[in-house]
Amino acid sequence: MLITTIDQMHRWSAQQRRDGKQIGVVPTMGYLHNGHCSLIKCASNECDVVVTTIFVNPLQFGVGEDFERYPRDLQRDYTIASDAGTTVVFAPRTDEMYPSNYATFVDVGPIGEKFEGTFRPGHFRGVVTVVAKLFHITQPHLAYFGQKDYQQTLVIAQLIRDLNFDISMVVLPTVREHDGLAMSSRNVYLSPEQRHHATALYRALQAATNAINSGERRSHALAELMTKVIADNDHVRVDYAAAVQAGTLEEVTEFSSGEQAALLVAGRIGPIRLIDNELVTIP
């Protein structure tokens, strides 16, 4: 089923709750790939009904970013989502979500100001605003997100805590191509040559993971290693490479045994910006 209005989505979700059904939601911006499908399939296995939202959110795009050219194909997405186990696709228009008198936004504070927040000012303000709206509209019991956008998962977890949403958040591992490239809707922008160069981000994460398993504990050394691996490819420009505490994104001098580190990388190939991450428990 395709729903495009907030009123109809409200009524459908309310009826599911009255019927005692557990609702899972998978928020997306569309142009679905196997990473999205893994979320939908998991939601379908764990919930009675699944809502996949498809909305290219203008609030999370900055000046000069790719809002206008972001890939869109609702019929394709509807078919993929349905085949993966979606019950309802919620695909509202922009003016349905943000009417002309819209004026309310959500700010998650410091955790949204570093890394992606530094390079994309206002990005997480847009993310949490639309996710909060989607939570209210779809009324889910569980919400499913991918680890690929790791900082985003922490930001949304804080949103759920701080605004007291009665929602359980499920984060699933990043789904990768055969060569390690993290699946992303933006990968469609890459030429075959750029696609090859893009694997530098994954190779950087692998190098840092191997270094940790070989005894490296210094965060700056891990960051320098990842930066070098990416920078060795002349076609990729590094935005950041960091090794931080997984739960807080705080930078530490040295990791302790048993601690979980988040390895974060972001880079650009021409105008195309890609991010990736890996979580590693320190031996």
Give yes or no: residues 12 and 150 share one domain.
yes
Contacts 24+ apart (CB under 8 A), 102-106: 104/129, 105/59, 105/129, 106/132, 106/159, 106/163
**Pick from 144, 172, 200: which residue ends a domain?**
172
- Residue 64 clears pLDDT 90, i.e. is over it: no
For 263, half-sphere exposure in the C-beta direction (CA atoms, 13 angstrom radius) is 26
The number of domains in the chain is 2
Active site residues: 36
Give yes or no: residues 165 and 42 share one domain.
yes
Give yes or no: residues 31 and 167 share one domain.
yes
Give yes or no: residues 237 and 167 share one domain.
no
Whether the full predicted model's pTM is greater than 0.85, yes or no, is yes
Average pLDDT over residues 170-191: 94
Give yes or no: residues 30 and 150 share one domain.
yes
**Pick from 139, 172, 205: which residue ends a domain?**
172
User: Percentage helix, strand, coil, to 5, in the chain?
Assistant: 45, 20, 35
Q: Of 89, 84, 78, which Cα lies nearest the Cα of 51?
A: 89
Give yes or no: residues 136 and 110 share one domain.
yes
In a domain, 48, yes or no: yes
Query: How distant is the alpha carbon of residue 193 from its chain centre?
Result: 25
Distance CA 19, CA 53 (A): 22
Which residue in the block uniquely carries the two structure tokens 């990473």?
Answer: 35
Give yes or no: residues 111 and 214 share one domain.
no
In a domain, 14, yes or no: yes
Residue 83 burial by CB count (10 A; 0-12/13-18/19+): exposed, middle or buried?
A: exposed
DSSP class of 114: S
Q: Which residues contact 104 (CB under 8 A, 6 or more apart)?
A: 129
Q: What is the pLDDT of residue 184?
A: 93
In a domain, 177, yes or no: no
pLDDT tens-place string over residues 144-159? 999 999 999 999 999 9
Give yes or no: residues 128 and 54 share one domain.
yes
pLDDT tens-place string over residues 3-24? 999 999 999 999 999 999 999 9
In a domain, 283, yes or no: no
Give yes or no: residues 36 and 166 share one domain.
yes
CB 141 within 8 A of CB 24: yes
Tokens describing residue 266: 């972001």
Give yes or no: residues 150 and 243 share one domain.
no
Give yes or no: residues 167 and 251 share one domain.
no
Give yes or no: residues 115 and 10 share one domain.
yes
Please give the residue range of the domain that contains residue 232: 185-275
Q: What is the CATH number of the domain that holds 229?
A: 3.30.1300.10
Q: What is the CATH number of the domain that holds 35?
A: 3.40.50.620
pLDDT tens-place string over residues 233-283? 889 999 999 999 999 999 999 999 999 999 999 999 988 999 999 999 999
For 240, half-sphere exposure in the C-beta direction (CA atoms, 13 angstrom radius) is 14
CB 243 within 8 A of CB 94: no
Tokens describing residue 65: 């970013």
Query: How distant is the alpha carbon of residue 277 from its chain centre?
Result: 11
For 275, half-sphere exposure in the C-beta direction (CA atoms, 13 angstrom radius) is 19
Q: What is the pLDDT of residue 43?
A: 98
Residue 63 pLDDT class (50, 70, 90 cuts): confident
